[in-house]
């Protein structure tokens, strides 16, 4: 039986060691620590994006396809664990605020 790409992606899980949970009190601090990885040469095409939906949030890597690290569009490069309406490979838009947080839409 052949699977569609969507079915294959739906069954992919993020590696346990690639997920970091934080309390709300330290979420921003942890976000900025991980966001510093954007400066590495191998991460030049990626931006660390903070997504929020109905009181829940999740931060994930996005591979930039249009724009820059400040504002653009890209492909979600993590498997969402909390915001499950998002999927690996989804096209998302993002913009960075004055504080330096890149928000996903």
CATH number for the domain harbouring residue 97: 2.30.30.760
Q: Which domain holds residue 81?
A: 5-104
Gap between the Cα atoms of 74 and 76, Å rounded: 7
Total domains in the chain come to 1
**Taking the C-alpha atoms of 78, 26, 28 and 37 in order, what is their torsion angle to the nearest 10 degrees?**
-50
Residue 102, SS3 per DSSP:
strand
pLDDT tens column, 50-99: 999 998 999 999 999 999 999 999 999 999 999 999 999 999 999 999 99
Q: Is the pLDDT of residue 6 over 70?
A: no
Residues 6+ apart with CB under 8 A from 69: 38, 47, 96, 102
For the entire predicted model, the pTM comes to 0.81
């Amino acid at each position: 039986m052949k699977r569609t790409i969507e079915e294959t992606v739906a069954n992919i899980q993020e590696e346990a060691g690639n997920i970091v949970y934080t309390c709300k009190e330290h979420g921003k601090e942890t976000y900025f620590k991980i966001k510093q990885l954007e400066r590495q040469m191998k991460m030049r095409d990626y931006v660390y994006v903070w997504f929020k939906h109905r009181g829940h949030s999740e931060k994930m890597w996005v591979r930039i396809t249009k724009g820059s690290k400040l504002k653009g569009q890209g492909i979600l490069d993590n498997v969402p664990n909390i915001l499950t309406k998002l999927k690996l490979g989804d096209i998302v838009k993002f913009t960075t605020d004055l504080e330096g947080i890149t928000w996903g839409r």
